Amino acid sequence: MARWVLLLLLALLGAQPAWAEGAHVLTVKGAIGPASADYLLRGLDKAAEARATLVVIEMDTPGGLDSSMRDIIKAILASPVPVAAYVSPQGARAASAGTYILYASHIAAMAPATNLGAATPVELMPSPTPEKPADKKEDKSAPPQDAKASKAISDAAAYIRSLAELRGRNADWAERAVREAVSLSAEAALKAKVVDVLAVDLADLLKQIHGRKVKLATGEITLDTVGLTLTRVEPDWRSRLLAVIGDPSIAYILLLLGIYGLFYEFSNPGMLFPGVVGGICLLLALFALQMMPINYVGLALIALGIAFMLAEAFLPSFGALGLGGLAAFVIGSVMLIDTDLPDYGVPWTLIVPLAVTSALFSFAVGGMALRARQRPVLTGGEELPGMEGETLEDIEVEGWARVHGETWRVKSRAPLSRGSKVRVTARHGLTLEVEPINSKENHHV
């Protein structure tokens, strides 16, 4: 009874009972992007709400987007819960963006046979300069060949140096990792004071960091990690959904399905299915793209290209609209993801087949529409010209005839006898203009 009263008092006071404390373990594998950033940010928030003692981020990443990396680092720096970045399992790496995250964390740890480094911004790496003849002197007064890359690398170097100085780690090597793209093994990183701990597993990590002092945004604390319960935090449905549709190729396909679905729904109102599917796909694509570095000009070019290819089927442009639409579609697809980061764009192997398929599909639908227009009319008054009928009485100028199973008032320039076969040449309101089928009229005797 006393225990329940104590727990109730703790809850009313907003305190967290000791048995609820533990370490939350977040796992990041693969490129750092919107999905992993969303997962880590939400994981850090949950750890703060649960008043966890420690957050461990297990990493195995080749790098990722700068914007996502900076969001993660901001969350780590502001976290009221200590964060230990742990490069694990053996054989894993923390390259590029992973190195920055490792430097930003309160505790930097690595498993044996892992590595980190190569933190130069990939899309801004300067191209190798051509070799100059020995007899020609270098013009030192000439400006750098790529000022944009130089400025970006300097900014990245200053950023990682500031993180290193904040955590008391090797700032000189951090800057070399950016400027020279150097890497280190786990053992070498420990000796160079790039990381704090070399641990074989999580239990070993908790044992080694016990009693260490870390500086949080709220002040300095001493870690008490003995006997901590490890709680693995799995991605929730939102993070899992973003991980699927956050792939640029998947988001690109959803975008095309959405645009096509809405185009065909608008051109054929009432079909419903294209509109429903297109709307869902477009919303999912926009949800994913709003977290990516997209180029809105590329997005507009894709929509314009699809519109031109559809218009080619209905307008006599002799291929101008179709070829222009195909070119706009391809250029827009290439420009859609605004980054040159390897493996984080829409690949050519996807763009070309979809561009060809889109063009063929649009032309096929347009061809079907043209063939439908050329078919003879089968219903309504427009189908009457050319049909045959039979007179119901002798006709000098005007009389009655049966055409298409109906009785019509008809006019003829030539006299007709009853029962003559006639062909409709025109329609004027409720009167048909006819002509005899044979030059000789058949008279009844």
Per-residue pLDDT at 18: 35
Same domain? For 345 and 387 the reply is no
Per-residue pLDDT at 341: 57
Residue 241 lies in a domain: no
Read off the pLDDT of each residue in 86-111 and give the average, rounded to a whole number: 95
- In 214-243, which positions are buried (b, 16+ CB within 10 angstroms) versus exposed (e)? beeeeeeeebebeebeeeebebeeebebbb
Same domain? For 274 and 356 the reply is yes
Most confident by average pLDDT, 67-71, 289-293, 318-322: 67-71
Same domain? For 268 and 352 the reply is yes
Per-residue pLDDT at 145: 47
Same domain? For 159 and 300 the reply is no
Flag whether pLDDT at 432 surpasses 80: yes
CATH number, domain of 394, equals 2.40.50.140
Flag whether pLDDT at 266 surpasses 80: no
Cis peptide before 89 (omega within 30 of 0): yes
Both tokens of 137, joined, read 């002197």
Residue 443 lies in a domain: no
CATH number, domain of 83, equals 3.90.226.10
DSSP string computed for 348-411: HHHHHHHHHHHHHHHHHHHHHHHHHHHSPP-SSGGG-TT-EEEESS-BSSEEEEEETTEEEEEE
Q: Average pLDDT of the chain? A: 81
> How many domains does the chain contain in total?
3
Q: Give pLDDT tens digits for 132-162.
A: 444 444 444 434 446 777 888 999 999 999 9
- In 85-100, which positions are buried (b, 16+ CB within 10 angstroms) versus exposed (e)? bbbbeeebbbbbbbbb
Structure confidence at residue 426 as a pLDDT band (50, 70, 90): confident
Both tokens of 309, joined, read 């290819």
Expressed as residue numbers, the domain containing 409 is 381-436
Structure confidence at residue 365 as a pLDDT band (50, 70, 90): low
Rounded CA gap, 83 and 171, in Å?
20
Per-residue pLDDT at 143: 40
Q: Give pLDDT tens digits for 298-317.
A: 888 888 888 887 777 667 66
Q: Give pLDDT tens digits for 27-77.
A: 999 888 888 898 999 999 999 999 999 999 999 999 888 888 999 999 999
Residue 4 lies in a domain: no
Per-residue pLDDT at 314: 66
Same domain? For 90 and 188 the reply is yes
Structure confidence at residue 322 as a pLDDT band (50, 70, 90): confident
**Angle at which helices 248-267 and 273-289 pack, to 10 degrees?**
150
Percent over 90 (pLDDT), the chain? 35
Higher pLDDT, 302 or 287: 302
Per-residue pLDDT at 137: 45
Per-residue pLDDT at 373: 57
Q: What is the model's pTM?
A: 0.65
Same domain? For 62 and 206 the reply is yes
Per-residue pLDDT at 372: 59
Per-residue pLDDT at 441: 44
Residue 349 lies in a domain: yes
Flag whether pLDDT at 224 surpasses 80: yes
Residue 15 lies in a domain: no
Rounded CA gap, 110 and 204, in Å?
11
Contact between residue 53 and residue 259 where contact means Cβ atoms under 8 Å apart: no
Flag whether pLDDT at 1 surpasses 70: no
Read off the pLDDT of each residue in 350-372 and give the average, rounded to a whole number: 73
Q: State the residue for tokens 């008279």.
A: 443
Residue 136 lies in a domain: no
Q: How many angstroms from the chain centroid is the CA of residue 443?
A: 79
Rounded CA gap, 21 and 13, in Å?
17
Rounded CA gap, 220 and 216, in Å?
6
Residue 350 lies in a domain: yes
Residue 253 lies in a domain: yes
Flag whether pLDDT at 364 surpasses 80: no
Same domain? For 357 and 319 the reply is yes
Q: Kindly report the number of other CB atoms within 10 A of residue 293's CB atom.
A: 17
Per-residue pLDDT at 27: 95
Rounded CA gap, 421 and 402, in Å?
10
Flag whether pLDDT at 294 surpasses 90: no
Per-residue pLDDT at 106: 96
Per-residue pLDDT at 325: 83
Higher pLDDT, 203 or 259: 203
Read off the pLDDT of each residue in 85-100 and give the average, rounded to a whole number: 94
Per-residue pLDDT at 134: 45
Per-residue pLDDT at 136: 43
Flag whether pLDDT at 295 surpasses 90: no
Same domain? For 329 and 407 the reply is no
Structure confidence at residue 126 as a pLDDT band (50, 70, 90): very low
Residue ending a domain, among 190, 215, 236, is: 236
Per-residue pLDDT at 14: 41
Structure confidence at residue 319 as a pLDDT band (50, 70, 90): low
